[in-house]
Amino acid sequence: MEIRELHLKHYGKFDDHRISLQPGINIIYGKNETGKTTIHSFIRAMFFGLPRGRGRQAKADEYSLRQPWENPSYFAGSMTILEGGETYRIDRNFNREQQTCTVDNLSKAARAADGEQEIRRLFGWMNETVFCNTLFVRQARVETEEALAEELRGFLVNYDRALGMQTDVSRALQSLQKKKKEFLQKKKAEEELLEEQIGRRQAEADYVRREIDSLKERGEALSAGPSEEPGTENQEEEPKERSPKYRILTEVFLAAAALTAFAMAWLFRALRIRIFLGIFAALFLALILPVHKLLSGDEDEAKDWPKEMGEQSGAVREQLQRQEEKYQQLQNELEELYQNHVKTEGSAIEIEALNMAIDRISDLSASVFKESGGGLAQKTSEIFGCITGGRYTGVSMDGSLDIRILSRDRVLDLRELSFGTMQQVYFALRVAAGELFAKGRQFPLIFDEPFAMYDDARLAAVLRWLYRSGRQVILFTCQDRERRILEKIKAAGGASGQKKEEL
């Protein structure tokens, strides 16, 4: 199988984003927080869906993390793959209210009756647990997870046929139950802490989002000018147009009344009448200025409105920018918390793997386990020997999946190895287990920053093996050294078929 195109229609931070892939090694390069892990998650979601968690976990599950930032109700994507010489397109709507999955055979212009069933067939009936612990390596999780060990225990009893080691089934079951209990206790403590942190950040982000919406509405209202009630335009227009005329007439009337009072005061000889008329004349004159200001208020307000509107609009824009920056910062913090939660959110999958392993150990015969285990040890040894340049001759495993490394002169426990060599063992075990589950078929290897702890020599060795394997590899990285080393491999061994995609 090869993945030919990813189309993130609306997923996480991406909107109508397409990535074309080719056979061989594909490098998807981008700095931190450019969306590499989101694309990595998208591939898994296209194969196995993105179910919504329940209860407290629903606030911090993969579904919530990958919901589109804008218009979360539109949550969809598609992926084009090549399998068996035919091209297929998988389309998914991840929205929890209307989840759909369709698979179209583009070569035959036909649609599968059951999309989920068709994907399982195309994927060789490999389940999500196996996929996530062999072909699909998440960021900072290069070591095999407990789920891989338990899944392997589900059908492996003897891992090293050459040494003839037999595994006691009851001992394996006791080990599984113990590990399951320890796992649940550890996961519960980690998840409660992360969920509390995520809940606080999410509540703050929701509040800021509402503030942003309110500021946008306020900005639109300011841009529209003074609001008017429907049907009152004609009623208000006439008084505003006649306001200057009324003001002038009123001022003339007050002035005429004052002059008349002064004139009459001169006609009367009685002092009291003259004082009374003089007071009235002064009062009429004093009223001219207040009346002028009062009746001129609408005109001044109309003149001052554009200036006031501009000042308020500028203040609103500044507040909106600050709130949007704060919202983006909160989203980045949530992204980081969700990434930490991803390391613990797989509890349901891993518990399922533990239970599956217990059931299989109880039901399947030891002879089948022995044959499969020998194949795993042999394939792991081949890969490990190749990527270490023959320094180690093999890998053996007992019934508890305790790994022993065979060198030319002695047998080593994992704890005796350097951290870099241990990473190489885990890489070899993952790939070998993936090939064992694939039953002779080749599936893409999808890695998110798997080689961050490798030195250049170890990185060159593992990339050389991947290049020579001829299988499709999708490698997400924030470093440029993978590309540089692959260029040297290309120069030494011919065209490598590598492609680099930058975010």
Q: For 40-97, how does the pLDDT look when each residue is reduced to its tens digit (9 = 90+)?
A: 999 999 999 987 766 555 555 788 888 887 787 889 999 999 999 999 999 999 988 8
Please report the beta strands in 327-413, taking only residues with DSSP state E, as ranges in sequence order. 392-397, 403-407, 411-413
Strand-by-strand arrangement of the 411-413 sheet? 392-397, 403-407, 411-413
Q: How far apart are CA 87 and CA 105, in angstroms?
A: 6
Q: Would you state the structure tokens that stand for residue 281, as one six-digit string?
A: 């004349």
Q: Which residues of 208-238 are buried (b: 16+ CB within 10 A; e: fewer)?
A: beebbeebeebbeebeeeeeeeeeeeeeeee
Q: How far is CA 93 from CA 10, 52, 65, 78, 111, in A?
A: 10, 13, 16, 9, 16
Give residue 349's pLDDT band: very low, low, confident or very high (50, 70, 90): low
Using DSSP, how many helices (H) and how many strands (E) does the chain show? 14, 14
Give residue 475's pLDDT band: very low, low, confident or very high (50, 70, 90): very high
Q: What is the mean pLDDT of residues 101-117?
A: 95
Whether this prediction's pTM lies above 0.85 is answered by: no
Residues 239, 243, 246, CA angle at the centre, nearest 5°? 115
Residues 122, 127, 128, CA angle at the centre, nearest 5°? 110
Q: Using a pLDDT cut of 70, give the percent of the chain over it.
A: 73
- Amino acid 348: pLDDT: 58
* Residues 22 and 499: beta-carbon distance below 8 Å: yes
Q: Which of 101-115, 135-149, 343-357, 401-415 has the highest mean pLDDT?
A: 101-115
pLDDT at residue 426 tops 50: yes
